[in-house]
Amino acid sequence: AQVWRCQVGRVPLYLLDTNIMENHPDERNVTGGLYAGNIEDRLRQEIVLGIGGVRALTALGLDPMIYHMNEGHCFLVALERTRALMKKHGLDFKTARELVRASLVFTTHTPVPAGNDVFDIGLVERYLRPYVDEIGVPWQEFVALGRKNPRDEGEPFGATVFAIKNSAFRNGVSKLHGEVSRDMWRDIWPHVPREDVPISSITNGIHIPSWISDEMAELFDRYLGPKWKEDPDNQKVWERIDEIPDAELWATHQRRRERLVAFARRRLHRQLASRGAKTKDLQRAMETLHPDALTIGYARRFAEYKRGLLIFRDIERLKAILSDRERPVQLIISGKAHPRDNEGKAIIQRIIHISREEPFKDRVVFLEDYNMNITRYLVEGVDVWLNNPRRPMEACGTSGMKATANGALNLSVQDGWWVEGYRPDLGWSIGNGEVYDNLEYQDHVESKAIYDLLEREIIPLFYDRGLDGLPRGWISMMKKSMRTLCPVFNSNRMVEEYTDRCYVTASLTLKPLVAEGYKNARQLVKWKDTIASRWAEVAVLDMSHEGGDEVSVHSEMTIRAEVKLGAISPSDVSVRAYYGTVDDAGNLSAAKDVLMDHMKEMGKGVHLFETRITCDTTGRFGYSVRVLPSHPSLIHPVDMGLICWA
Ligand SMILES: *Cc1c(COP(=O)(O)O)cnc(C)c1O
């Protein structure tokens, strides 16, 4: 493969390309398209990306300390790095894998099972067996790393599973998506409660200077100073939004809406012309939309879960809303369907069809070939950004953040980032985050919620003008939204979180493992093997508490556990009390976890552990005790797969 270098600002982006003369025509086409047609082509692409990617960096003389895998497609980075470390430093597989895991960050993006690649073992074997044999890992051991349940011979090979098992840092891209991911992958840690599944979340953010209009950037320069670019996650900087005079902010926004309308007309004209439309229709295209009307934007990939047709569900009601002469409302929609997603294509067809009929003809425009240029015009010019995915399918959703930074207000389902961003004074929420079994009913309720919000809140607020023609209430909400959301949902905050929580922690973990010719890494592997071989003896023999079964609020209570560790030293485990309220089904909920102190050895490998907990609230409580391995180099002790519950 050849490597292209593309300079993106200060960041070099390397692109792999198999289209070279020396390759067989089949191979030349491997990097020919973003979404490969079938699963085999996909695996071929992923081999080029994962294994080829690491080799390309090596060929370029680059030797990164930390790798970050974005989505499961590059899962083979983990294996190729392991192979390279083994070869270069004469390490065994397990030791090299420890080092790779400690320095690998994995971000998952897809809450939909179908979005996570799964391969038949036979297919994986055909492509990877010689490579795995060369590394010297037994085939079954390798395959087990791609299975949620390593003992299930029938389970196919999951790219995401492999990525999770070979990285010590894993995260989803919003708080809700973190929860969804912990749920989706919890089978990998069968004895661990859902909330303790070691997948965290780092909410995405946008690079604000890349997504706001020049006009808005000028306003920010003038009133916020240069720090909005350099230090955008600083709350103080954004508080100065209030210093922008209402009239000036509104004039800036109006100008961008006019630009959007002009852009939409040109695109519509071009779309119609390319289909050989009549002159009359072409002329009309240039007069469609109104530069002053309340403009709602909606743009996305038209996957089914995004529900592109939701706002058209009650067509008569939408008609009434859009064709109000006093308070006009218009809709600009853009999107693309996956080339093989016929359902997505049908949704687009339907929208285009509606947009050609009266009275939608002047009020609804569909822009084809959604791309970043269209996004820019849209997010810079709309008043309201609409997003109505089926919760919790939207992992994060960043276009709403782009719109926010330009002063648009969000009207969105409580999904992805909007769960964290929404407040009643910052925008609107379609429903309250309910999840429905009956999808038809859900669409009914949520489309109704959209119309209700438009009729009762959004349209009245937008058209509530003073003598000076300014919608003061609306502008005040724009300012609050920008002031509150911009300092959080930006890429500086996001990269800082990755740096602090992943990259720095990884390098601090890695350093001692690498020192003295990988001495500690080898010892860690040996320690893990020893603990695993002795774990069968571990048992919680008894647990008890002091002070009877009724305790008063705010009092303290002592919990004791007698734990059999056998040949394992108490310093190699952590014994933890796990306590919380007991629900109707007798399960612990909202459980907390505290480390218990080692008090004394009671003989025959049995030890006494103790801790004090405070009883903060009234109600029924329960506790349990669990034992986990403990070692300074373990980032997530549960990853060892050893846990003993009372
Ligand atoms: C921002 C953007 C996306 C991603 O939008 P989400 O809201 O995160 O789904 C997709 N395509 C284009 C062209 C974009 O600009």
Ligand 1 atom with the smallest distance to the CA of 375 is: 15
CA dihedral 516, 521, 526, 531 (to 10 degrees): 130
Distance of CA 334 from the midpoint of ligand 1 (Å):
11
% of the chain exceeding 90 in pLDDT: 89
Condensed to tens digits (0 to 9), the pLDDT of residues 598-631 reads: 999 999 999 999 999 988 888 888 999 999 999 9
Question: In Å, what is the CA distance from 550 to each residue of 450, 586, 624?
Answer: 50, 17, 17
Written as six digits, the tokens of 513 are 């493992």
CA dihedral sign of residues 605, 606, 612, 616: positive
Judge if the beta carbon of residue 398 lies within 6 A of ligand 1: yes
pLDDT value for 161 = 98
Separation between Cα atoms, residue 378 and residue 333, nearest integer Å: 9
Ligand 1 centre distance from Cα of residue 415 (Å): 15
CA of 222 to the centre of ligand 1 (A): 29
Ligand 1 atom with the smallest distance to the CA of 374 is 13
The CB of 370 under 6 Å from ligand 1? The reply is: yes
What's the gap in Å between 196 CA and the centre of ligand 1?
A: 31
| Contact residues for 389 (Cβ-Cβ < 8 A; gap 6+) | 305, 306, 307, 397, 413, 415, 416
Q: Is the CB of 417 under 6 A from ligand 1?
A: no
Would you tell me the crossing angle of helices 439-453 and 315-322 to the nearest 10 degrees? Answer: 20
Whether the CB-CB separation of 191 and 645 falls below 8 Å is answered with yes
Query: Mutation test of ligand 1: which of 177, 306, 399 has the most ligand atoms closer than 8 Å to its C-beta?
Result: 399
Those residues of the chain that have pLDDT short of 50 are none
Give the whole-angstrom CA distance, residue 478 versus residue 472: 10
pLDDT at site 256: 98
pLDDT of residue 376: 98
Predicted pLDDT of residue 615: 84
How remote is the CA of residue 299 from the centroid of ligand 1, in Å? 8
pTM: 0.94
Q: Is the CB of 590 under 6 A from ligand 1?
A: no
Rounded to the nearest angstrom, the distance between the alpha carbon of 183 and the centre of ligand 1 is 25
Q: Which pLDDT belongs to residue 36?
A: 66
